[in-house]
Structure 1
């Protein structure tokens, strides 16, 4: 694990209580569309589907995202960003981490 990855994980654990939640929020914030699926996040993050579903459940419970239905013709659940401000916060944290790492 690189020093940068370790620092992101440490800050994520401090702020969100989970070492992967910060990266999950970054990934969702950086998506082109407001709607997304768990498999998209699994590929983007390179983590297990189980972890992604656990974090999506927490974000859904906190009402940062909502279930938007399913992908047409599939059983894959579509999620939607429900709180844009929460994801702008994630982008701000990402910019701060980048600045700290550049210093």
Structure 2
């Protein structure tokens, strides 16, 4: 039988997941707008960036959205050029051999 402590744990997990999903949505919005205008680098790169944004959103606040997306894009091998809160360029960054 599930008791009050287990129910509270489940509730807290749902709240944390909801906050993580909100950060994910906010962080990807400028990238999505950029990709709509100019196209994504490739399906694999877009999927990797999305996965990294979701992973990096764990235990971060919504206020960190720009840092989360910047870190994820950099880890995927790209750089972002920002103009305010809008992405104006996404450039591949070659990694050293």
Q: TM-score range by the shorter chain?
A: under 0.3
Q: TM-score, normalised by structure 2?
A: 0.27
Q: TM-score, normalised by structure 1?
A: 0.26
In terms of Rg, which structure is larger? 2
